[in-house]
Structure formats: C-alpha cells, structure tokens
Amino acid sequence: MEALRWNKLVNNVLDAAEEHQLWVPGDRIVVAVSGGPDSVAFLHIMHEISTRHVPLELICAHVHHGFRIESDHEAEMMKELAHRLGISFEWVKADVPSHMKLTGQGPQEAARNKRYEFLHEVAAKYDAASIALAHHADDQAETVMLHLLRGSGLSGLAGMKFKRREKNVELIRPCLRINKTDLVEACNTQGFLYFNDESNSLRKYRRNAIRLDVLPFLGQYNGQLTPSLNRLAEIVGDEDDFMEQGAYDAYRCLVQANGGRQTFEVPSFLKLHVALQRRLIKLILNYLPLDSDFVDFTRIETIRRKVIQPDATTWSLDIGQTLACTREYDLISFGIRTDVQDQSYEYRLAQWSGTYELSLAEIDRHVRLVPMSPEDYHVPESADHAAFDADQLLMPLVVRSRLPGDTMKVMGLNGSKKVKNIFIDEKIPPSVRSRVPVVCDGAGNIIWLPGVRRSSVAPVREDTSAILYMTVGDSAIQG
C-alpha cells in the first residue's frame, strides 16, 4: 500500500510535467528545499524521477533565513540528505533581519525575496533550465483565497502557474495537484527526516491566518473547498492565458512605436471588448518604465474611461513617474510628458563640403544637406524633403528648437503665419511638435519646418544654378 501511494505521487508529478512541458531529458534543475515535509518529499520524488524515469541533473538549494537557532542544524541535515542522494548541494545563510531594516519589508516578504534571489544565483551558476518549487494544492488554495480577499483580477485568481519564466529561467511547480497531507504522509511512511517551522503557526502572518482560520471556517460550507479553489485556479489560469494572448495580438495589430512613444488609434481601440481594452492598456503600461505597483486596476480604468469619452479630442493625463497618456485627435499615445522631454538646442552651419548630416541628439533625429545641380534635381515628394536655391540662401544656416512666437512665410500665402497655427492646421499632434526642428537662414527667417511645411524663401526656379536639398529622418531608424 505504501509503495502504491508513493508511486501515485511520482506519477502525479510525471503527469504534470508532461502536460505542462516542465522539463526535457538532460535538463539541469535547481530544487528548492526548505527542510519541511513538502520540499523534502518533493526532493525524493524528483530524485526518483531523475534516476528511474527521465535523466535529469538536480541541484539541491537551501536557504538559512537567520531567524531560528535550529536553522543551523536543519541546513546541515539538508546537506547530508543531498549528499546521500548524490545531489549537488548549495546553501546560503541569508541575513533577512538586516534586509528587513534596509527595505522596510516584513519578515515573510523579506525572506521570500532573499530566497528567490539565492535560487536565481544558483540557477545562473549551474546554467540550470529551471528552478523547481514544492508548492502544493493547499498552497494554491491559500494563494487564490489571499488574492480574492485583496480584490484581484483574473491573473490573481489563477494563482500560481505550473510554469512561469522569470529572469531567463523557468519556475516550475510540479506538485500543484498534490495535497499537503499526502506529502507529509509520504515522509512519515518512507522515513524521510523533515523539520517543522513553528512560525507557520503564527496567525500574525496573513497567509497563516488564511490557512488556519479562513479556509477551515469556509470548509464548513464546502467540504471540497481546497479542490474547488484549485479547480478555479486552473480554469481561470487557462482563460487568463487566452485573454493575455488576445491582448498581445491586439497590441501587435493596433500599437505602434512612434518617436519613443506607444500609440494607437481611438476608433480601433473602441472596437475591442472592454476586457481587451483593459488588457491592452495594462500591456502598454508594462512596457513603460513604471514601477509594477503603479499598474493597478484604478489607473488602468481611469485611462480607459478617458480614452472612450466621445466629447474630448485633445487632452493629457498624468499617469505618474514623468509619464503621460495623451489624446491628439484620434491618436492616443503613452510616453514621457512633453514638459519633461522638451529640450532647447541650436546648431549653426556656416560652411560644409559635400553631403553633410547634422545629428540632433536632443530629439534623436538628423537633418541631411545635399548640394545638388539642377540636372540632378527632382521635386520633393513629401514634407520630409525640401529644396532651396543655394545662391539665394543667407548663411549661416541655423537648426534649432522651436521658440514662442515663431512665425514663417508660407509658400503660396501672403504674409507670415505663426508656427503654432501651422502645426494646428497640419494636425501635428502636440506630443510630436517637440521633435520638429526649425531651420532658419542667416537673417533669422524660418525657411523650413522639416516634415511639416517649407517657407517661401529661396524657391527653386528655372534659372537656379545651385540647389541645396535637405531631408529629415529619425536617427534610430537611419542608424
């Protein structure tokens, strides 16, 4: 009977590994072992799998958290266990109390962070494919309930995943369908030595209180509460993956990287289901340099509701950390606030020889100047190109940032027009205007707004003998 129960545990892990593709033959796997019954039983299961079923190279990793005197003895016993099984052993004595003082974190959060930090160090040292964790069905139920009480969305209710990539290594949890009682029973019947951490009984820790009080109380109304919560996690996890893939598909179709900003068109966004709208905004925010705790439901929903408002076509919404979401006509963009990124610059070009490229590092763009004969001249095809009668231009040329009150003599229009009004007439979004350089002649006249309009100064005529041809482009694209 004991052998049958043990084989059932091993087969359970093998089935999970096959279903979720947790490893392939020859993989090097770091197995996290705390010394408790869960991880001790798990290490033995993995050892049997690696010796009898699938060739795997195991590394046992143990963290001494520095809280209890008994931890010294436990670390030594885990080292002996790994040696007895013929498994490489790595351990560290983490100074969690000092980490708590340094970060202000609680004991459980600080211990977890130091533990995962060490596991990733071991994985990097051995070039391991994955880190195997002994989380089981009871842990999963606690996690789902904890997230439910916090008001989590689908991703939280999905609980822990069988496989998740983190820092170029897979975190795998093959025991998520195994109950803790089965792991403890395996240790007792097989004679595996393990230790009990007394801190697991302290109700001051929220997870402990959920395990000791909340789940038993709710269990009075559902005798299969733990299996039900695990079922919920699996169902929600699959649906969460489906929705996440939909968000990535929408991102690839709708979102463009434009001048360091993430942009999309409002009409396309409005066609998405509200769930995908939220997911798309979350995905965009995750690509921005924001702290993870900034990307919450309230911020996402505030942005979404602002985007779908039909009556406002131009606005800017500060989303924190120098970033903003802006609407300019039918274009929504995410990026650094314009008041943060605007920089003043001025370059004077008195003389140059041949083709010359001026790099505008402040806006990550360039202006190229090409001397040209009338025989080689062709009429510019877009506002990114402009041609001038070189003999009629006053030197030196100046390329600078826009100034308040700038005006330009527009070709085909008598008199001058404010640059601001030119931008408005050409429907140049405010967030893009800071990336439009201003080209002036030696008298200070604006002769060209690259990518927008050229002036009436020094036009190319039939009797023109020398032409200065200019183009503008993004440095990142050209480089």
Residue 160's nearest CA partner among 180, 150, 174, 181 is 174
Q: How far apart are CA 365 and CA 437, in angstroms?
A: 9
**pLDDT for the residue numbered 477:** 41
Which residues, in sequence order, are CB contacts of 95 under 8 Å at separation 6+? 66
Backbone region of residue 128 per phi and psi (left: phi > 0; alpha: psi in -120 to 50; beta: other values): beta
The secondary structure of residue 455, as a DSSP letter, is B
pLDDT in tens, 213-228: 999 999 999 999 999 9
pLDDT > 90: what percent of the chain? 65
The secondary structure of residue 390, as a DSSP letter, is G
pLDDT in tens, 350-382: 888 889 999 998 888 999 999 999 998 988 878
Q: Decide which of 108 and 68 is more confident.
A: 108
Please tell me whether residue 92 adopts helix, strand or coil conformation: strand
Report residue 173 CA to chain centroid gap. Answer: 23
333 is annotated as contributing to ligand binding: no
Strand order in the sheet with 438-440: 346-349, 397-400, 438-440, 446-449, 453-454
Q: Decide which of 311 and 324 is more confident.
A: 324
Q: State the average pLDDT over residues 414-418.
A: 86
**pLDDT for the residue numbered 454:** 92
Question: pLDDT grade, residue 24 (50/70/90)?
Answer: very high
451 is annotated as contributing to ligand binding: no
Q: What ranges do the domains of the chain cover?
A: 2-234, 255-340, 346-478
Q: How far apart are CA 429 and CA 122, in angstroms?
A: 50
130 is annotated as contributing to ligand binding: no
Residue 148 to residues 142, 145, 159, 204, 300, Cα–Cα distance (Å): 10, 5, 10, 19, 19
Report which residue type is found at 56.
Answer: L
Q: State the average pLDDT over residues 236-243.
A: 94
Question: pLDDT grade, residue 259 (50/70/90)?
Answer: low
What class is the 255-340 domain?
alpha beta
Sign of dihedral through CA atoms 375, 376, 380, 381?
Answer: positive
Q: How far apart are CA 333 and CA 98, in angstroms?
A: 43
Q: Which residues of 281-315 are buried (b: 16+ CB within 10 A; e: fewer)?
A: bbbbbeebebeeeebeeebbeebbeebeeeeeeee
Beta bridge partners of 265: 331
pLDDT > 70: what percent of the chain? 96
Phi and psi at residue 370, to the nearest 5°: -130, 110
Q: Decide which of 394 and 71 is more confident.
A: 394
What class is the 346-478 domain?
alpha beta
95 is annotated as contributing to ligand binding: no
Q: In degrees, to the nearest 5, what angle opens at C-alpha 38 toward C-alphas 33 and 39?
A: 15
**Cβ contact 154:52 at 8 Å:** no
In the CATH scheme, what architecture does the domain 2-234 have? 3-Layer(aba) Sandwich (3.40)
**pLDDT for the residue numbered 339:** 61
pLDDT in tens, 88-104: 999 998 888 777 877 77
pTM of the model: 0.69
291 is annotated as contributing to ligand binding: no
The secondary structure of residue 393, as a DSSP letter, is P
Residue 335's nearest CA partner among 434, 437, 258 is 258
Q: How far apart are CA 417 and CA 427, in angstroms?
A: 15
72 is annotated as contributing to ligand binding: no
pLDDT in tens, 275-293: 999 999 999 998 887 766 6
Backbone region of residue 239 per phi and psi (left: phi > 0; alpha: psi in -120 to 50; beta: other values): alpha
